[in-house]
Every structure is written in structure tokens, then in C-alpha cells.
Structure 1
């Protein structure tokens, strides 16, 4: 696999991981016991920390991309393994 493909796959994993990590550890103003600003949405986060989200996304994306590349190299799971319906290939 080309290194540029690995970088592109890593970026895709990172973006998906960042969206997955967004809701974890975030509290609303009501949950944190902080007064809301007039006109503020009830679901607005009180303690959003983008650096923490980026760090968590980086760790998760690194693990997932590593597993993906290793699976590509060693062929642990093949397309035939994912065929749940249809005729048995044997």
C-alpha cells in the first residue's frame, strides 16, 4: 500500500473519530450548574474542549488505521469472510 493511501485513510479515520468523540465529556450549563446566557440553546456545551477531542480522535484514529493497514498486509479479514448471505463459496 502506498504511503499516500495510508495518510488519506488515516485522515478519514481521524475525521470520523473526531465526530464520534464530540459528545463524550461535554456538559450543558444545567448539568454543570452554570447560569445560561439569555437566548442560549439548552443543549449548548458549557465545557467544550477541542484539544481534548483532537487528542482522543488522534489516539482512536491511530489505532483504527494501524489495524486497517495490518489487516491489509496480513489478510486477517477478507471480503469472503464478510459474505453473510448468498451461496457458500466452498
Structure 2
């Protein structure tokens, strides 16, 4: 696999992991027990933890990419194995 292709696939896994990680850091003001500001939506997050989100996204994305790359190198699951009708 070309290094540029591997980098592009890693970023795809990173953004997938971002959407997997984001809900774990979302706490509303109601859940945190704080009063809402006038005009604030009840679903608005209380704080945005960009550093923690980036750290966990990188960890999860790297683990997912490592599993993908190991499968690519070792051929554990191939496209032929997934073809149901043949």
C-alpha cells in the first residue's frame, strides 16, 4: 500500500472515530445541574472539551486503522469471503 493511500485511509478512520467519540463528551447544562442562560437551548452542550475529544479520537482512529492495516497485510477477511452469492 502506498504511504499516501495509507494516510488518506487513516484520516477517513480518524473522522469516523470523531463521530463515534463526540457523544461521550456531550453533557447538557440540565445534566450537569447548572441553570440555563436565557435563550439557551436545553440540548446545548455545557462545555466543549476539544483536547480530550482529539486525544480519544486519535486513539480510537489509530486502533481502527491498525486493525484495517493488519487485515490488509495478512488477508484475514478478503472481498471474496464477503461475496454472498458466489
Q: Which residue of structure 1 aligns with residue 53 of structure 2?
A: 53
Q: Which residue of structure 1 aligns with residue 80 of structure 2?
A: 80
- Aligned residue for 1:7, secondary structure, equals helix
Gaps of 5+ in 1: none
Q: Residues 62-85 of structure 1, C-alpha deviation per residue, up to 9 Å, x if partnerless?
A: 01111111111110000122123x
Alignment of 1:1-90 (within 5 A): 1-84=1-84, 86-87=85-86
- Aligned residue for 1:23, secondary structure, equals helix
Moved beyond 2 Å, runs of 4+: none
Q: Which has the larger radius of gyration?
A: 1
Tell me the C-alpha RMSD between the 2 structures.
Answer: 1.1
Normalized per residue, the structure richer in helix is 2
Give the number of aligned pairs.
86
